[in-house]
Amino acid sequence: MGKGLQFLDYIVFLVYFCIVAGYGYWIYRQKKSQEVSTTDFFLAEGSLTWWAIGASLIASNISAEQFIGMSGSGFAMGLAIASYEWMAAVTLLVVAVFFLPIYLKNKIYTMPQFLAQRYSPLVATIMAVFWLLVYVFVNLTSILYLGALAVSTISGLDFTTCSIGLSIFAVVITLGGMKVIGYTDVIQVLVLIMGGLATTYLALDLVAQHFGGHGAFAGLSNLYEKAGDHFHMILNKGQMMMPDGKGGTEDAYDKLPGLAVIVGAMWIANLNYWGFNQYITQRALGADLPTARAGLLFAAFLKLLMPIIVVIPGIAAYLLYREGVFNTEMLDGTAVRPDRAYPVLLNLLPTGLKGLSFAALTAAIVASLAGKANSISTIFTLDLYNKFFNKNASQATQVRVGRITIVVAMVIGAIVAPVLSNFGQAFQFIQDFTGLISPGVVAIFLLGFFWKRATASAALAAAIATIPTGLLLQELFVTMPFLHRMGWVFLALVGLMVIVSLIDKKGQEKVHGIEVETSMFRTTPAFTVGMVLVLGIIAALYTIFW
């Protein structure tokens, strides 16, 4: 059970690689004889089933951010970090009921397209540039960094080799377009769930063995008894002091401030990610409404499983570390590095199962890289290249530009990724950084959806003010938790948009139309039953682990 993969592990991984690559190539060959259109390449229009949409959503979302970053946060602060997963399930339902009908009714294919149609091309262009910068330099880069870190820790290969290998694997899948990504994601999700559950089981079994027992249930009982402070969903100030990755400690409340995860700005983070994020919504924009809604409901059910796969192993690693099982592996000099929890835990797994867990981790990383690269390609090609560089580009040219963009974005990500080694918890770095943009995006979209008087000038003002307002509050209120700061920035931007819109009488005369009718929000009985079931399970989980 030492460091590095053994022969059997490589065989397991090779089988996974051949299945994914072979299946992706087979799907690609089905369309090769036809000219690939932009809607086929970027959206797989009409091609993805509900289960493919749901699986692709989860495969693209669950990546090294969760396996490494969220497990690290589970090590540091416990089950509270699961709010990002369980509240995301609720958000998926909100998106399915209220947002998807608007997108599909108005034939929206990209988020900048919505902004251009509802507000103005200038607002769309500014936000398109914002999104591209964040997707490339924060999201894609963080996935590559955490993925390469994990693969390097487990395999013993150097970081650069792992980063290049992951990039090439993802590019091969992404160049086939959204249909290849969507259907290979089904396999990726099966692998990551099986491998993830295997890791969780063995982590719990290791805990049980340490305390003289055996099996996952005994391990979970020991975990709950010995690390009870890590099983609270709602944190109070001063309740949980955690390692900051730099040799000191910090208050977990500053990352997850109490009820804000249920009724506060966690909603802003989730609505931005699941409702107004090209990377996510792209999966559903090529389907009809019943199929898209069913896909999001399926994804919500899968979300309920994710903390079991990514958070529980982190808590198990915390208890084993506290018991002295792998003290030195978690240290960087004298500093405890929570993001090492999952890779170190994998190195304790027996041969063969380590290969399965390694394949699961790789599946999550590659699926997320492919999805993110495709979204970067979609926004650049449809919202920037077509408008400013070649307005008369043929569909074949657009697809070619999209593929070139994928390669360029991946190269940039691989070059920038090592910079993230300067941060203690990469998952929190991602949340903090995107939190500067989320309030503005949510304000602009929500008012664009549901307030007809919102003007282009108001949206432009909010887009420009988003980052400066966040940085100003961060400077003025250094100790304010970032979720609270996001909430205040959101309210300030909504107020700004309302004031500018009311003053801008000429702008109100030029408001562009987005069709919204209350009848669009009706759901089928089957969807309603599934929605109530998801909400009931989440309510029970928060009640038990409050």
Evaluate whether 274 touches 434 at the Cβ level (below 8 Å).
no
Judged by average pLDDT, the poorest of 11-15, 80-84, 124-128, 327-331 is 327-331
| Distance (Å) of CA 298 to CA 191, 227, 412 | 17, 32, 34
More confident residue, 424 or 327: 327
Judged by average pLDDT, the poorest of 73-77, 323-327, 434-438, 534-538 is 323-327
- pLDDT of 158 > 80? The answer is yes
Which runs of consecutive H residues, i.e. helices, occur in 311-352?
312-322, 341-346
**Geometric angle at alpha carbon 459, from 456 and 464, rounded to 5°:** 125
Evaluate whether 245 touches 231 at the Cβ level (below 8 Å).
no
Distance CA 515, CA 238 (A): 48
pLDDT at 182: 66
More confident residue, 32 or 300: 300
Evaluate whether 265 touches 443 at the Cβ level (below 8 Å).
no
Confirm whether 485 is domain-assigned: no
The domain of 249 spans 15-29+51-418+428-434+516-544
More confident residue, 256 or 508: 256
Strand pairing report for 241-243 and 335-336? unpaired
Evaluate whether 320 touches 207 at the Cβ level (below 8 Å).
yes
Per-residue pLDDT band for 430 (boundaries 50, 70, 90) equals low
Span 250-286, pLDDT tens digits: 777 888 888 888 888 889 989 998 988 877 777 777 7
More confident residue, 27 or 443: 443
- pLDDT of 423 > 60? The answer is no
How crowded is residue 523: how many other Cβ atoms within 10 Å of its Cβ?
Answer: 18
Sequence-distant (≥ 6) Cβ neighbours of residue 443 within 8 angstroms: 462, 490, 493, 494, 497
CA-based nearest residue to 366, from 185, 501, 226: 185
Distance CA 44, CA 21 (A): 18
Distance CA 153, CA 490 (A): 40
pLDDT at 427: 54
Assign residue 196 the CATH number of its domain: 1.20.1730.10
pLDDT at 41: 62
Confirm whether 423 is domain-assigned: no
**In the block, residue with structure tokens 């099982």:** 325
Burial 433-466 (b: 16+ CB within 10 A, else e): bbbbbbbbbbbbbbbbbeeeebbbbbbbbbbebb
Judged by average pLDDT, the poorest of 178-187, 210-219, 381-390 is 178-187
Evaluate whether 463 touches 444 at the Cβ level (below 8 Å).
yes
Per-residue pLDDT, averaged over 184-191, amounts to 74
Per-residue pLDDT band for 538 (boundaries 50, 70, 90) equals very high
Confirm whether 504 is domain-assigned: no
- pLDDT of 42 > 90? The answer is no
Write the single-letter amino acid at 88. Answer: A
Confirm whether 150 is domain-assigned: yes
Q: How many helices (H) and strands (E) does the chain have?
A: 27, 4
Confirm whether 85 is domain-assigned: yes
Sequence-distant (≥ 6) Cβ neighbours of residue 164 within 8 angstroms: 414
3-state secondary structure of 243: strand
Confirm whether 494 is domain-assigned: no
The 8-class DSSP code of residue 372 comes to H
Evaluate whether 437 touches 443 at the Cβ level (below 8 Å).
no
Judged by average pLDDT, the poorest of 84-88, 357-361, 403-407, 499-503 is 357-361
> How many separate domains does the chain show?
1
User: pTM of the predicted model, to two decimals?
Assistant: 0.84
Strand pairing report for 335-336 and 331-332? antiparallel
Sequence-distant (≥ 6) Cβ neighbours of residue 78 within 8 angstroms: 227, 229, 230, 231, 232, 240, 252, 311, 315, 318
- pLDDT of 31 > 70? The answer is no
More confident residue, 59 or 334: 59
Confirm whether 395 is domain-assigned: yes
Q: What percent of the chain has pLDDT over 70?
A: 88
Two tokens at 522?
Answer: 């009706």
Distance CA 546, CA 542 (A): 5
Burial 133-142 (b: 16+ CB within 10 A, else e): ebbbebbbbb
Give the residues across from 335 on adjacent strands.
Answer: 332
Per-residue pLDDT band for 28 (boundaries 50, 70, 90) equals low
- pLDDT of 313 > 80? The answer is yes
Q: Average model confidence (pLDDT) for the chain?
A: 82
Span 215-252, pLDDT tens digits: 888 989 999 998 888 899 998 887 877 776 666 777 77
Per-residue pLDDT, averaged over 417-421, amounts to 75
More confident residue, 136 or 153: 136
Confirm whether 2 is domain-assigned: no
Give the residues across from 251 on adjacent strands.
Answer: 241
Distance CA 127, CA 225 (A): 48
- pLDDT of 1 > 50? The answer is no
